[in-house]
Amino acid sequence: MTITEILANNRGDLETKLRNLLAKPVFIIEMDVFALPCGCKGITINTRGLQYDDLEIFEEYINEYLKTTSENLEIEPSFLFARVVPGTAEIASLNSRVLCNRCYMDFARGTGKRPRPDIYILYFTRRD
Amino acid sequence: MKLYAPHVGHLEGLEELLTGSNDIYGIYMAGTPDYVGTGRTNLSAPGLEEIAEQTEYAHDKGVKMEIVLNSSCMGGQHLTPEGYNRINWYFKQLNNQGIDSITVAEPYFVEMLAKEYDMEVVVSVLSFVDSPQKAEFYENLGADTIVIDPVVNRDFAKLEAIRDAVSTDLKLLVNEGCLYQCPLRYAHFNFFSHANGPGPKLNVLDDYYYYKCLSLRINDPQQLIKSPWIRPEDLGEYRHITDIFKIGGRTHFPNWILNNVQAYANESYDGNLMDLLDCPKDLKDLFYIPNKELDAAISQWKQCTKVCNKCGYCQKLAEKIIKVYSTEGCETILKPLKENGGQ
């Protein structure tokens, strides 16, 4: 299977799982794999219709789904987070990112789920 | 019927549109955002020479050319001496290019254009003319044509009152899919006007209004039905108001625009209504609304009192006909709204 076929399948699977979980037609508008110049790499899953309450109530399930999607794409699910439109109920994207050393330090210094107004951490593996 | 079609702004696009259809009465496109912006996203910013070239081409084909400068917020720039001079210079240049009409949302521009220039002055949908009183105001400022706020597209008493109040031409925007009574409308268009205007440019992270707009529909799909679009089949119901109709969609491919032109010129479309709606275009890959199953709805809307919590017609209709695109394995299938948690 090509990488785009794998992406397409995972986009559909995750969307179906979210819809079944939340009982509304949540829309995954785009799923991208990326590599940044700093060394970070991962997936960005742009969502529409997913809201902060959904995340808080169903975090355990959404976390698990995102982990599975990440593993299917051979991206270590070490840092999973949602990007929130700051100050609102809207979730712009779900993300799995393998952090570079520098970006890791930015997140490792903080505690709690909201290190920035636009980030809601679902899962974070601290390094030794 | 006089049908105005959107155009993304480059000559190749215009050639494709005007060789692809003989049903287009007029074309409209944005100008450069350096002087006056527009209330919607643009794919191009044609300069004066390009506008002249395209105007000539359109006229050769017997088609009118309209430039849209419908910023809903100028941030007061036009009220400064420098701003006034800059904008007035641009209007003069546009006038010299031989365009037929110019669409503006700012009342000051309506008066300025009506007093100083020969171009037909069109009051934009972003002037939100939704009453006979507002229509009279713009007529008195010098407007030649008023594009009525789609919020009253299904309020026939209001449409008739506007028609009776003014002698200007009236134009109806047929395929805007904005939320009915959208609370984000003014803020979103003001944001667009700055983002697509002379600056200063903002470093925006997210278009909150657009996300919210989509989210409101996904969480409550009956909003798709309540949006005041006009189906191609229902144009006849509006003939006593006007015979001038405008198709929205300046960020779409010519193929999409031509599909719309054909649907509205033929007054018929057998397919997904979402194909025709200008916005929110992302949702056409999520929802399927069989247009032909909406045949009788206009009868209800013609007598609609707009008290949704007592009526429930649009909600029932949404539950009955809307389907959701879903994926099963590698295939895309259509599922009823209810299976996907709709209402």
Kindly give the pairing relationship between strand A79-84 and strand A119-124.
antiparallel
Are A90 and B324 within 8 A, CB to CB? no
Residue ranges with strand state E in B184-314 = 244-246, 287-288
Calpha distance A64→B4 (Å, rounded): 51
Q: Under a CB-based contact definition with an 8 Å cutoff, are residues B123 and B149 in contact?
A: no
Residue with tokens 């005007």: B18
Query: What ranges do the domains of chain B cover?
Result: 2-272
CATH fit for domain B2-272, picks 1.25.40.10, 1.10.287.1040, 3.90.1150.10, 3.20.20.70: 3.20.20.70
Say whether residue A39 is in contact with chain B using an 8 A CB cutoff: no
Are A13 and B327 within 8 A, CB to CB? yes
| Residue B258, SS3 per DSSP | helix
In the chain, the amino acid numbered B302 is: K
Say whether residue A117 is in contact with chain B using an 8 A CB cutoff: no
Kindly state the DSSP code that residue A24 receives in the 8-state scheme: S
pLDDT digits (tens, 9 = 90+) for B15-63: 999 999 999 999 999 999 899 988 888 788 899 999 999 999 999 999 9
Q: Which of B327, B335, B337 to mutate to test the interface with A (most CBs of A within 10 A)?
A: B327
Residues of A whose CB is below 8 A from B285? 27
Say whether residue A84 is in contact with chain B using an 8 A CB cutoff: no
Are B215 and A25 within 8 A, CB to CB? no
Say whether residue A116 is in contact with chain B using an 8 A CB cutoff: no
| Half-sphere exposure in the Cβ direction for B80 (13 Å, CA) | 7
Minimum CA–CA partner of B325 in chain A: A25
Q: E strand or H helix at B157, and its extent?
A: helix B156-165
Residues of B whose CB is below 8 A from A2? none
Mean pLDDT of B178-201: 92
The residues, ordered by sequence, that sit 6+ positions from B195 with a Cβ below 8 Å of its Cβ are: B37, B41, B201, B202, B204
Mean pLDDT of B70-88: 95
Residue B199: the pLDDT is 78
Q: Domain span at residue A39?
A: 3-124
**Which one, of A119, A51, A47, A44, lies nearest residue A83 by Cα?**
A119
Are B208 and A88 within 8 A, CB to CB? yes
Other beta carbons within 10 angstroms of residue A125's beta carbon come to 11
Are A92 and B211 within 8 A, CB to CB? yes
Residues of B whose CB is below 8 A from A11? 327
pTM: 0.92
ipTM for the predicted complex = 0.83
In the chain, the amino acid numbered A31 is: M
Q: Model confidence at B338, in pLDDT bands (50, 70, 90)?
A: confident
Instruction: Output helix, strand, coil percentages for chain B, rounded to the nearest 5.
Output: 45, 15, 40
Return per-residue pLDDT of chain A as tens, 128 residues: 999 999 999 999 999 999 999 999 999 999 999 999 999 999 999 999 999 999 999 999 999 999 999 999 999 999 999 999 999 999 999 999 999 999 999 988 888 899 999 999 999 999 88
Q: Under a CB-based contact definition with an 8 Å cutoff, are residues B216 and B224 in contact?
A: no
Question: What is the total count of domains within chain A?
Answer: 1
Backbone φ, ψ for residue A28 (5° rounding): -95, 105
Q: Model confidence at B177, in pLDDT bands (50, 70, 90)?
A: very high
Residues of B whose CB is below 8 A from A88? 208, 211-212
Calpha distance A111→A95 (Å, rounded): 19
